[in-house]
A and B are shown apart, each in its own frame.
Chain A
Amino acid sequence: MTQTLIHRHTRLSIFMHWFNAGCWIFLLLTGLGLIRNDDLQPFPFWPTMLRTVFGGGGNLLLAHELIGITWAGGFLLYGIIRLKSDVFPFIRDIFTVDIRRDFLWLITKGIQMTLGYKLLGVVAEKFDFNPKIPDQGFYNIGQKIFAIPAVFGGMVIAASGIVMILSQTGNADTEWVQWAIVIHFITVGLVFAGLLIHVFMASIAAGEKPAFISMFTGTVPEDYARHHHKLWLDEFKKS
């Protein structure tokens, strides 16, 4: 059974996605290993183990900083060369919200994800609303709700990281550096919490396999596009 495939991701954006994922995994694991303090580290075995693997805390810090700079630099470069074609449309897209439709999507999708379609029908009957999950654009509102903090969180993480690096060249006030460390930790924690949902939705959740495959091939089957991103497909067909 052959299906029409719809172009969804460019090769560069696929590369950036996996570049981001790889950097995140490395930076998350090494960053966790940099926290060594009885009051701040709930998993003390981790920094001990990682420092042995890297041959000391100094090497661990250096590796974290080098990959961190690569990550931030990579996105800066990507942002510059794809400002008009990728960045602006992306920002416009994630900030475009259809309040009624998207609110209903959050309610129905939320009930379906946790209670299932059957109970969604029951709840919809009781509270008198349409149990059909509303159509969505290139991103659904759930993706948008994660994309906004992920983008701004990423910027905060990069900026606070830069403050810490500037501290080592004597260009940052100690009080700034102390706040940068804490903000770095809090932001990574919150974005990571959202990332768990992202990883589940994109690679494990039922019916999402075509989305996962599209992060390698760049295309999705038309049926999938109609089911998950109908407004985008309609737009795509028009153009």
Chain B
Amino acid sequence: MNKQLAMVIDSSLCIDCKACTLACKIENNVPDGYWRNWVKRSEPDFTNPEWMNHRTPLHFQPGGCMHCEAPTCVQACPTGATYKDDAKDGAIKVDPKLCIGCGSCIPACPYGARYKHPTKNIVDKCDYCEKRRERGELPACVITCPTKARVFGDINDPNSDAALLLKKNQSIRITNKESDTKPNMYYLSATAPLNWPVKAKMPDAIQLWKLVGPLIWGVVGLNALGVLVMLGKQLLITDKEPDTDISRKETRRS
């Protein structure tokens, strides 16, 4: 079975220290004003009397690119610069040499996990710290987390920490009802907030392309067919031009 890297998160362990977001920013040189990962928080519910009984009404939820199984970002990319690397590790990656920064994938992500890098001019996002992994190290956010809320590994390997944690516990995936991208980020149940992913939006230009694409291929095909018909006619039927003078005489009308 192919490798499928995933993150299994016990958000109840998260204390909102945001060490993961800083570690990521430093490791990956993420520019000012942009983030590759995040910690979201639930809205405290003060109408619930429980909050007075020393129980925190807040829940923190670490996240990042969910490296989805059915990635809408990949569907939005015209060139395959954004792709799911199934041959290697199942992660969603950006080929920095092929990406021209058209940004089609950015609104196509329901999680807001992508941004256009202001100096590299290509789209940037979490790659599970590929360079660290090549050295045999864990992603920066995972290794930094003091409470070990983020657990990372190949969920298709039954002995990995992530697979074991997933097997032992009930888990959920956070999705938008209208665009379920089958994220590879699993939260051990009772996480919050849940309603924040937005509907994936294909850019208008890409939508138009998907619509008129077959039409353009059709026009090219029809012309090719026309050429073949003319060629066939030329090869099969002898068609000599009548002497113009005679044809003129014949059609001369009074």
Question: Which residues of A line the B interface, CB within 8 A?
Answer: 34-40, 42, 47, 56-62, 112-114, 116-118, 121, 124-125, 128, 130-132, 164-165, 167-170, 174-175, 177-179, 181-182, 185-186, 189-190, 192-194, 196-197, 199-200, 204-206
Contact call A177/B223, Cβ cutoff below 8 A: no
Other-chain residue from A36, A58, A205 in contact with B234 (beta carbon distance below 8 A):
A205
Q: Give the shortest distance, in Å, between B35 (CB) and chain A (any CB).
A: 19
Residues of chain B within 8 A (CB-CB) of A114 are 229-230, 233
Instruction: Tell which of B49-57, B180-188, B243-251 binds the partner.
Output: B243-251
Q: Give the shortest distance, in Å, between A179 (CB) and chain B (any CB).
A: 5
Contact call A182/B206, Cβ cutoff below 8 A: yes
Q: Give the shortest distance, in Å, between A169 (CB) and chain B (any CB).
A: 7
| B205 interfacial by beta-carbon distance below 8 Å | yes
Residues of chain A within 8 A (CB-CB) of B122 are 168
| B77 interfacial by beta-carbon distance below 8 Å | yes
| Tally of contacts, chain A with chain B, CB under 8 A | 150
Contact call B102/A177, Cβ cutoff below 8 A: yes
Chain A residue nearest in CB terms to B98: A57
Residues of chain A within 8 A (CB-CB) of B100 are 61, 164-165, 167-168, 177
Q: How far is the CA of A35 from the CA of B233 in the complex (A)?
A: 35
Contact call A130/B248, Cβ cutoff below 8 A: yes
| B39 interfacial by beta-carbon distance below 8 Å | no
Task: Find the residue from A62, A165, A190, A206 having the highest chain B CB count within 10 A.
Answer: A206
Residues of chain B within 8 A (CB-CB) of A121 are 242, 247, 250
Contact call B101/A174, Cβ cutoff below 8 A: yes
Q: Give the shortest distance, in Å, between B133 (CB) and chain A (any CB).
A: 20
| B220 interfacial by beta-carbon distance below 8 Å | yes
Q: Give the shortest distance, in Å, between A93 (CB) and chain B (any CB).
A: 24
Indicate whether A117 sits within 8 Å of B121 (C-beta atoms), given known contacts A132-B244, A189-B220, A205-B234.
Answer: no
Chain B residue nearest in CB terms to A196: B223
Q: Give the shortest distance, in Å, between A65 (CB) and chain B (any CB).
A: 9
Other-chain residue from B103, B233, B234, B237 in contact with A177 (beta carbon distance below 8 A):
B103
Residues of chain A within 8 A (CB-CB) of B81 are 57
Chain B residue nearest in CB terms to A194: B223
Contact call A189/B79, Cβ cutoff below 8 A: no
Q: Mark B87-114, 1 if CB is under 8 A from A, else 0.
A: 0000000011110111110100000000
Q: Give the shortest distance, in Å, between B253 (CB) and chain A (any CB).
A: 8
- B201-218 interface with A by 8 A CB criterion: 203-206, 208-210, 212-213, 216-217
Other-chain residue from B96, B204, B227, B237 in contact with A200 (beta carbon distance below 8 A):
B227
Q: How far is the CA of A35 from the CA of B208 in the complex (A)?
A: 15
Residues of chain B within 8 A (CB-CB) of A38 are 75
Task: Find the residue from B101, B118, B231 having the highest chain A CB count within 10 A.
Answer: B101
Contact call A206/B209, Cβ cutoff below 8 A: no
Residues of chain A within 8 A (CB-CB) of B212 are 186
